[in-house]
Amino acid sequence: MGIQHEQIQEPSAHVTPLKSRPDGALYVATLYGNTLLLQIVDGEENPSRWKLTQQSGQLKLEWIDTHSGMPDTAELLAALEAAFTRYPNQHQLNLVTPVGQADELLQSGVLLRSGNNHLIARSELFWQQARIWLPSPLPYAFPSSYVFSQGRRHPLRPPKPAGIVYQRYIPWLDRTLSFRAVNIEYDLERFNRWMNDPVVAHSWGEQGDLAKHQTYLEGIAADPHTIGLIGCFDDEAFGYFEVYWAKEDRIAPFYDADDFDRGWHVLIGEPHFRGKPFVTAWMPSLSHYLFLDDCRTRRIVIEPRSDNYKMIRNLVKCGYANLKEFDFPHKRAMLSILLRERFFVEQLWVPRDAVAMSISATPL
């Protein structure tokens, strides 16, 4: 059947387009019945058409835009993200499309061949493709070379990033979440206000003036094992994140730290961004970023106060396992760990209690 005969249903009023950024190209995907339209933003091309169906538990994505050659790689990646976002419980889909870069996509794990030589995509492998969510992913892992810091032997760490390091469209919020590296000149006043917020001060204990916080951020910038990030929803800054390599961190003596384990600290500075809908966006996305940043990272650790029950509950919902309580000099802490395998196999980029919200509120 030619594309001119394809019946396209009108979208329901609550359908929200999905934004995807594979290889730096911004696509908007909209589902009309079973027809998925993909439009590259700022491009002159007409939207391409795909058919997305689920039958007998099988998900199928078929390219039906046969009048325009074949889809390029970025378009295919955007279509796959749209399909897996629309059906967050699906672990695999069958793909029917000509593929121009089949060897590269097969070698990178974007696609696999089934026993009958058909193309399939697995969500576990797809969501490990850094090129979709990291604006400037490294084409290779930073080489291993060991150094000593404060008596600890650990791998030499790569140069710190600048600008946006991760971005992801969150369907149930209809917002784009991003993390960007701290710019001290630009972010100092905001950071100072956040640190003096009573809720933040209770957890961090870093109240002070601009001079104190400039010194604090300069110390983070000079520390090769820690990176300061600002979290944003649609470019509106909402929180500060410190991500670190665990091997040379203060947490290392309290468990068997691997060379590429990562950890993080967080403060949500803007009160209107506190609460469950936002936690279900930023917490799994931060974990996702840390796993994508280096494919050798097998575990992410965090050590909240042991009496921070709300935080600990949120960690459990996002796949973290509580291992033990232990004593830092400044607090009694809970050691929580997230395994890479669990995150991707169990599809924890969407917390389980957010899956229903993701489907019912904004199908696509």
Q: Annotated catalytic sites, by residue? A: 303
| Cα gap 301→322, rounded to integer Å | 10
Task: Assign 85 to helix, strand or coil.
Answer: helix
The answer to whether 67 touches 81, Cβ cutoff 8 Å, is no
The answer to whether 136 touches 144, Cβ cutoff 8 Å, is no
| Cα gap 299→339, rounded to integer Å | 5
Residue 228 contacts by C-beta under 8 Å, 6 or more apart in sequence?
A: 181, 182, 217, 220, 221, 240, 241, 242
Question: Of 165, 305, 278, whose CA–CA distance to 229 is shortest?
Answer: 165
Structure letter (DSSP) for residue 276: H
Question: Of 170, 28, 20, 122, whose CA–CA distance to 81 is shortest?
Answer: 20
As beta bridge partners, residue 187 has none
Residue 130 contacts by C-beta under 8 Å, 6 or more apart in sequence?
A: 137, 138, 292, 293
* Helix or strand holding residue 153 (H, E): strand 152-155
Q: How many CA atoms lie within 13 A of 90 on its CB side?
A: 26
Long-range CB contact pairs, 123-128, < 8 A, 24+: 123/84, 123/90, 123/91, 123/92, 123/347, 124/91, 124/344, 124/345, 124/347, 125/344, 126/80, 126/81, 126/84, 127/84, 127/288, 127/344, 127/347, 127/349, 128/291, 128/292, 128/295, 128/344
